[in-house]
Amino acid sequence: MQWLKQRSANERRPRKLSGDPTTLEVWKANGEHCAFCGKSRDLCQGLGIGLTIQHVQPVVFGGALDSPLIPFCARCQQMSTDALEETRRIEARISTLQDVIRRIEEKAPHLLAEESLDGPSAGWSS
Ligand SMILES: [Zn+2]
């Protein structure tokens, strides 16, 4: 899958088009609170947490570049980035395992047969 490829944060981030609302405009238009954790802009600034914005549907998952923007504090932005990286790692691992299973199916299908999975050595029999 295309989005599994490792890319730098700058490449991943859509270029800001002229006429796009600024971060502060998006925060103001959405009640001055982080859409995820609910921290107010004042609280974020008091705590030294940066203000960011995100697309409602992330561009990496097919969201349009002009889709609505929501306020996100930098902490939630970081968490969502970490969660996205985790998803990518898991997807990559699943893909690797599927490749292994496909190779076993091709070269040693008997290893995947029902009897070898349900046999006494598996320890599932009652
Ligand atoms: Zn937040």
For 64-112, the pLDDT digits (tens) are: 888 889 999 999 999 998 998 999 999 999 999 999 999 999 999 888 8
Q: Mean per-residue pLDDT for 45-70?
A: 88
Q: How far is the CA of 49 from the centre of ligand 1 (A)?
A: 9
- Is the Cα torsion angle 72, 75, 79, 85 positive or negative in sign? positive
Q: How far is the CA of 104 from the centre of ligand 1 (A)?
A: 45
pTM value surpassing 0.85 = no
Q: How far is the CA of 35 from the centre of ligand 1 (A)?
A: 7
Percent of the chain topping pLDDT 90? 55
The Cα-based distances of 14 to 5, 30, 80, 84, 93 in angstroms read 16, 21, 16, 16, 27
pLDDT band (50, 70, 90) for residue 6: very low
